[in-house]
Amino acid sequence: MAGPGPRLLEKWPTDDRGPRLTRGTKKPRAIAWFGFSAFWGHLRHLVASVIATENIDSRQWMIPEAPDVLLGRVLEIIGPRATRTTAQAMAQREGTLAEAMGGDVWIDFVSDCGDDVTVSEAVAEMFVAEYEVADPDAPSEKLVLPRGDILFLGGDLAYPVATVLEMTRRLVEPWNRVLEKHTAGGPRVLLAVPGNHDWYDGLDGFSRLCQAPCAFEDRAPTSADPDPLHPQPDEHPVLAWAEAFARGDQVKKPTALALAGYLPVQRASYFRLPLAPGLDLFAVDRQLKRVDPRQQAYFAIPGAPARLVVLPDPARAWGEERPNGVATLKSLGIVMDKSPTLLLAGDVHHYERSAEGRSIHVVAGGGGAFLHGARVAGDAAYPIVAEFPGPRASKRMLRELPIFCALGRAGWLLPAAFALGDTLAIAAHFRGGLQSSATVALAISLIVAFGTALLVGWRRHRAARVVPFAALLGLAIGAIPVAIGIGTDALAMRVIGQWGAPVALIGAVILATMASSFLFGVMLMLIARLGLSHAQAYAALGSPGYKHFVRLRVRAGAQGMSQVDAWVVGIVDPIARPSPLLIDTFRFDTLD
């Protein structure tokens, strides 16, 4: 089915007002990251981090194919789309992808995808479309940006854990509702690197979608294993596991998941692909900790002087160096300011571009998950060239955070914890007076202060800066039930009468819980404004806005010179579905 003609992309009005802080109407809706639904993801993170050691590393069983073998498999799928004949394209299997495709290859990069199903559909509608922009080589003329020959998924394919069920509900089903309407032009290639949420499930869901089948595998649909475009995983996996465990059996899962019109080609979670003369694609998997020795040896093979490197998390974001990304680059021997590198990463749900020498850092995690806004504190470690959204829109969102938390819209896990503590403190006051409630409040203060220090990240910042901040918040939240208990105790008996204590207790707990949640929201807003922690405040907001993807054109030039042009296409409010906008455009040259 052919889609409509190319859409003319208008430039995004810089730092425009953001969308309403709401979720879609279809289920599954977005994960509330301070709610009970996210607790499962945090638990899986803990378990996965404990077992993800050098002694238990799935990558040791992977045997990545040689770059030319992977290139051949890619060309078997998209070679017929080349401007040259299929025979000529296949004959250049030992060269590069851009040369075999007649000079150009188009790649769509989407990362951090499956969350709110309404947003997932909006993202799919964005990247299947063609767009019309000003030609960077002739600004007075128009250039059509075709849908990519390759779809590159940058990790974190579903939330909170990329299980088969969550990937089906939050990624495969909503994307296929769009993709099945746009199947013209023949099959395309699917490539991917796993993120941390993919590793929480041991790459089970990731491999079923992104790993190419072996030659002896039969992926034909059967009654027991239906069409991978429409998988049917168990809707209640915990109950299914318990039932299977009681029978001494295993839970049945779909053998494969699939995106309509896309075929996976990789056999390992990392790979290398010759893109164009002098330019190789490095797709890296750091698991939950680090790049393993086998992978280091694989990427150490002498190759292109320039690289397009895709990492599961960036080396730069929010105006700061990110330790995981920096460690990954160091382990691969990549020095950004010395060798030309285009670094592309997700993980942070934000768009940001910066330069380091002749290299370019791009963070583009806008494929569907909640928004991480921009840095709103000063003193960034490097100049930020472009971002989506910017500080002004991000500050507007942060101002809504305290009342957002007070009303429970950030999730009910923390309000429930505050309600428990406030109930104990206020009930102690009603029974034993001020001394009893103060004792409970002190315990609450210590727990909140310790939790805040961990949340802010006291190991990443000066303790003298974090500890007083955490202690002050702990004392404030601990003081709330004491103050409310004093105020309501006398009021209950004098105004309401003999039934005053129970009624007052309930009212006091509700008021104290809302006040504690409000203060927690103030804390989250302040740590973002002070630059102590950027992720937690925006996670609490859970904004669906500012989704985007990157469309890349890789061009094979003369004398070993190649070029990458990039256009970042975004949508401010995917729930309302306005027209996509041009967020940013840039060029990366492999040689001076």
Residue 269 in any domain: the answer is yes
Q: 274 by DSSP, 3-state: which?
A: strand
- Clarify whether residues 559 and 456 are in a common domain: no
User: Is 530 found in the same domain as 571?
Assistant: no
Domain contains 245? no
- The answer to whether 265 touches 70, Cβ cutoff 8 Å, is yes
Looking at the fold, whether 476 and 554 belong to one and the same domain comes out as no
How many distinct structural domains can be found in the chain? 2
Look at residues 184, 252, 183, 257 and name the one whose alpha carbon lies nearest to residue 227: 257
Residue 431 lies in a domain: yes
Q: What angle do CA 88, 93, 98 make, to 5 degrees?
A: 80
Give Cβ neighbours of residue 530 (< 8 Å, ≥ 6 apart): 377
Tokens encoding 423: 């109930």
First-residue to last-residue Cα distance in the chain: 43
- Span 8-58, pLDDT tens digits: 888 988 787 777 767 777 888 887 777 766 655 556 555 555 555 555 677
For residue 433, what are the CA distances in angstroms to 17, 423, 425, 437, 489?
49, 14, 10, 7, 9
- Tokens for 313, please give them: 């998390």
**Residue 553 burial by Cβ neighbours in a 10 Å radius (0-12, 13-18, 19+):** buried
| Interacting residues of 151 by C-beta distance below 8 A, sequence separation 6+ | 107, 108, 110, 127, 188, 189, 190, 191, 259, 262
Peptide bond into 28 cis (omega under 30): yes
Contact 351, 548 (CB under 8 A): yes
Indicate whether 576 and 460 sit together in one domain.
no
Residue 395's alpha-carbon distances to 239, 344, 398, 520, 531, in angstroms, are 43, 26, 5, 17, 13
Q: What pLDDT shows up at residue 560?
A: 67
User: 351 pairs with which residues across the strands?
Assistant: 364, 388
Nearest to 115 by CA among 533, 547, 455: 547
Q: State the pLDDT at residue 187.
A: 93
How big is the chain, counted in residues?
Answer: 592
431 and 557 belong to one structural domain: no
Give the E-state strand segments of 218-337 in sequence order: 262-264, 271-276, 279-283, 306-311, 316-317, 320-321
Q: Which two tokens stand for residue 256?
A: 């494969």
Q: How do strand 320-321 and strand 341-345 relate by DSSP bridges?
A: unpaired
Instruction: Decide: helix, strand or coil at residue 579.
Output: coil
Calpha distance 439→437 (Å, rounded): 5
Query: What was the pLDDT predicted at 493?
Result: 54
Domain range spanning residue 510?
A: 400-540
Positions of E strands within 473-573: 547-556, 562-571
Confidence (pLDDT) at 424:
87
**122 part of a folded domain:** yes
Determine, yes or no, domain membership for 12.
Answer: yes
- Residues with Cβ within 8 Å of 395's Cβ and at least 6 positions away in sequence, in order, are 376, 529
Helix (H, G, I), strand (E, B) or coil at 508: helix
| In contact, 233 and 164? CB cutoff 8 Å | yes
Spatial separation of the C-alpha atoms in residues 210 and 62, rounded to whole Å: 14
Closest C-alpha among 468, 454, 418, 443 to residue 536: 454
Query: What pLDDT, on the 0 to 100 scale, is given for residue 586?
Result: 96
Residue of 479, 485, 480, 476 whose CA lies nearest to 432: 485
Prior bond to 277 cis, omega within 30? no
Answer yes or no: do 529 and 560 share one domain: no
Together in a domain, 562 and 440: no
Residues 50 and 174 in one domain: yes
Whether residues 568 and 462 fall in one domain:
no
Q: Which residues contact 95 (CB under 8 A, 6 or more apart)?
A: 274
Helix (H) or strand (E) holding 261, with range, is none
Of 540, 558, 577, the residue that ends a domain is: 540
Residue ranges in 358-400 assigned as alpha helix (H): 391-399
Number of H helices, E strands in the chain: 19, 20
For residue 41, being part of any structural domain is answered with: yes
Please check whether residues 46 and 114 belong to one and the same domain: yes
* 274-308 per-position pLDDT tens digit: 999 889 999 999 988 889 889 999 998 765 578 89
Residue 386 lies in a domain: no
Q: pLDDT tens digits, the chain, 592 residues: what are they?
A: 445 678 888 898 878 777 776 777 788 888 777 776 665 555 655 555 555 555 567 777 888 989 999 999 999 999 887 764 444 444 444 489 999 998 899 999 999 998 999 999 999 999 999 999 999 988 889 999 999 999 999 999 998 888 888 899 999 999 999 999 998 878 999 999 999 999 888 898 999 999 998 777 766 555 556 678 877 765 555 444 444 445 555 556 778 899 999 999 999 999 999 999 889 999 999 988 889 889 999 998 765 578 899 999 999 999 999 999 999 999 999 999 888 999 999 999 999 999 999 999 999 999 999 999 999 988 889 999 999 999 999 999 999 999 989 988 888 888 888 889 888 888 887 777 777 888 888 888 898 888 888 777 765 656 667 788 888 888 988 888 888 877 776 665 555 555 556 777 788 889 989 999 999 999 899 888 888 888 888 988 888 999 999 999 999 876 667 899 999 999 999 988 888 999 999 999 886 5
Quote the pTM value: 0.89
Amino acid of residue 380: A
The sign of the torsion formed by the CA atoms of 63, 69, 70, 73 equals negative
The reply to whether 108 and 182 lie within a common domain is yes
In a domain, 225, yes or no: no
The residue behind tokens 């579903």 is 158
Domain match, 159 and 142 both: yes
